């Protein structure tokens, strides 16, 4: 795999700079979607899980449905869509939260976004937040088609960048009756303002110029360029949260073969144009619970959403001492799930 001079998506979140950062030129990245597991039903702790597929227009999305203990197809259950982070897949933290909430009596669905993981969609590794909003609409479509799901009791939970797209979806997807976020990130704001929210937005213009040149090159036959989501392990120039993200995604802690740490460079323009929380002061009226760590560099997203949302019932629950990635697994995820479960039970 050859390398050229360019930028990484996580470096954009840090500094919006394109100076001397490695970019991958990866022909293998245009391959077909990673295969969905051949297992159709299995056990995950106290709950059962089944591999499912559903349609988003002409794209097939791959998901895992988690069923509570004692599940009875003749009963009606509240259901929750769980949306994974930007560089993640359903088997990682989204699947962990889906399992934990299923243990509390919900039917839950974690799925791979279009162009990612085991879901269809070409080209591979497109990251367009508005397309991911459409994925969520289709996930709700799938849930309401299930005879054992109560269509009037559907909630949604987003993790990291999955929170920004879930918030955006919930504003116009009124079938979502309650909304939770974990380590929320509006990836559009993070792209424009940096991971800590303090970068000058005008600094992004240089990056967008580079993206424009790459788009023109690809239009005339050049190979696509891919950037990394997370920095290399041990890269101390990255913010603490992103160093910890590398520890999660690139080590056995959270590593999964369908999570390849690749994104089309040209996706940066769609990330930059996304406004995940815009309109929340009018359209986000559902009960809302945000869970974030007090030491997370991303905390400003949850604080902004809490201040902005029109929801009459809204709460920002801060876990003292936790970082952004602490909520992806381990004790942090257990604390968050124990807060989320009663919230969804009260509101679904």
Structural domains of the chain, ranges and CATH numbers in brackets? 2-347 (3.40.50.1820)
- 263 vs 41: which has the higher pLDDT: 263
Beta bridge partners of 319: 293
Give how far Cα 122 sits from Cα of 97, 205, 221, 267, Å.
28, 27, 17, 13
CA-to-CA dists, residue 36 to 107, 109, 151, 269, angstroms: 20, 15, 27, 30
Sheet holding 2-6, edge to edge: 2-6, 21-25, 226-227, 263-264
For residue 15, what pLDDT band results from cuts at 50, 70 and 90? very low
Closest CA relative to residue 190, chosen from 177, 180, 204: 204
Nearest to 129 by CA among 85, 95, 94, 93: 85
Percent of the chain residues topping a pLDDT of 70:
88
105 or 7, higher pLDDT: 105
pLDDT in tens, 207-238: 999 999 999 999 999 999 999 999 999 999 99
CA 34 to chain centre: 18
Is the model's pLDDT at 198 over the cut of 70? yes
Location of structure tokens 């995950």:
44
Q: In which band, very low, low, confident or very high, does the pLDDT at 21 lie, cut at 50, 70 and 90?
A: very low
Structure-token pair, residue 8: 């990484």
Predicted model pTM: 0.91
Q: What is the average per-residue pLDDT within 88-95?
A: 98
Region 292-316: mean pLDDT is 98
Residue 223 near residue 35 (C-beta atoms within 8 A):
no
Q: Considering just the CA atoms, what is the radius of gyration of the chain in Å?
A: 19
Q: At 182, which helix (H) or strand (E)? A: strand 176-182
- Render pLDDT for 70-84 as a digit per residue (tens, 0 to 9): 999 999 999 999 999
Residue at token pair 């788009």:
215
Question: What's residue 19's pLDDT?
Answer: 28
pLDDT band (50, 70, 90) for residue 22? very low
Per-residue pLDDT reduced to its tens digit, 110-165: 999 999 999 999 999 999 999 999 999 999 999 999 999 999 999 999 999 999 99
Q: What is the mean pLDDT of residues 283-308?
A: 98
Predicted local distance difference test score (pLDDT) of residue 250 = 96
Tell me, what's the pLDDT at 46? 83
Mean pLDDT of the chain: 90
Q: For residue 121, give both structure tokens.
A: 């969609």
Provide the pLDDT for residue 16: 39
Eight-state DSSP code of residue 286: S
pLDDT higher than threshold 90 for residue 23: no
- pLDDT at residue 13 tops 60: no
Count of other CB atoms within 10 angstroms of residue 310: 15
Q: What does the pLDDT read at residue 36?
A: 59
Q: What pLDDT is attached to residue 215?
A: 96
The model's confidence at residue 188, banded by pLDDT at 50, 70 and 90, is very high
Residue by residue, DSSP assigns 188-250 as HHHHHH-TTS-S-GGGHHHHHHHHHHHHHHHHTTPPP-EE-SSPPTT-TTS-HHHHHHHHHHT
pLDDT digits (tens, 9 = 90+) for 324-342: 999 999 999 999 999 999 9
Q: What confidence tier does 34 reach under pLDDT thresholds 50, 70, 90?
A: low
Mean pLDDT of 13-17: 44
- CA dist 256 and 280 (Å) reads 34
């Amino acid at each position: 795999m050859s390398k050229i001079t360019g930028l990484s998506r996580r470096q954009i979140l840090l500094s919006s700079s394109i100076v001397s950062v490695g970019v991958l030129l990866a022909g293998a990245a245009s391959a077909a979607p990673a295969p969905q597991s051949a297992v159709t039903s299995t056990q995950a702790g106290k709950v059962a899980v089944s591999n499912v597929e559903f349609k988003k227009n002409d794209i097939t999305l791959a998901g895992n449905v988690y069923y509570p203990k004692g599940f009875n197809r003749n009963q009606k259950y509240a259901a929750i869509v769980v949306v994974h982070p930007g560089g993640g897949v359903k088997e990682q933290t989204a699947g962990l939260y889906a399992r934990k909430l299923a243990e509390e009596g919900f039917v839950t669905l974690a799925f791979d976004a279009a162009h990612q993981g085991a879901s269809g969609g070409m080209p591979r590794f497109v990251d367009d937040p508005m397309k991911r909003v459409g994925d969520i609409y289709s996930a709700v479509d799938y849930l309401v088609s299930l005879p054992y799901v109560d269509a009037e009791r559907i909630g949604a939970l987003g993790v990291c960048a999955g929170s920004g797209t879930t918030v955006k979806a919930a504003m116009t997807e009124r079938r979502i009756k309650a909304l939770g976020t974990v380590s929320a990130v509006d990836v559009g704001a993070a792209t424009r303002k940096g991971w800590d929210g303090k970068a000058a937005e005008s600094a992004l213009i240089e990056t967008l110029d580079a993206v424009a040149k790459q788009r023109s090159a690809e239009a005339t036959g050049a190979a696509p360029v891919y950037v990394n989501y997370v920095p290399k392990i041990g890269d101390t120039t990255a913010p603490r949260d992103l160093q910890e993200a590398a520890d999660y995604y690139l080590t056995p802690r959270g590593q999964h073969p369908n999570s390849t740490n690749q994104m089309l460079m040209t996706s940066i323009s769609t990330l930059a144009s996304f406004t995940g929380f815009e309109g929340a002061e009018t359209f986000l009226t559902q009960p809302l619970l945000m869970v974030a760590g007090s030491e997370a560099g991303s905390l400003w997203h949850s604080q902004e959403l809490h201040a902005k949302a029109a929801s009459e019932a809204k709460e920002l629950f801060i876990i003292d001492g936790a970082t952004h990635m602490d909520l992806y697994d381990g004790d942090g995820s257990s604390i968050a799930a124990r807060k989320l479960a009663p919230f969804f039970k009260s509101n679904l």
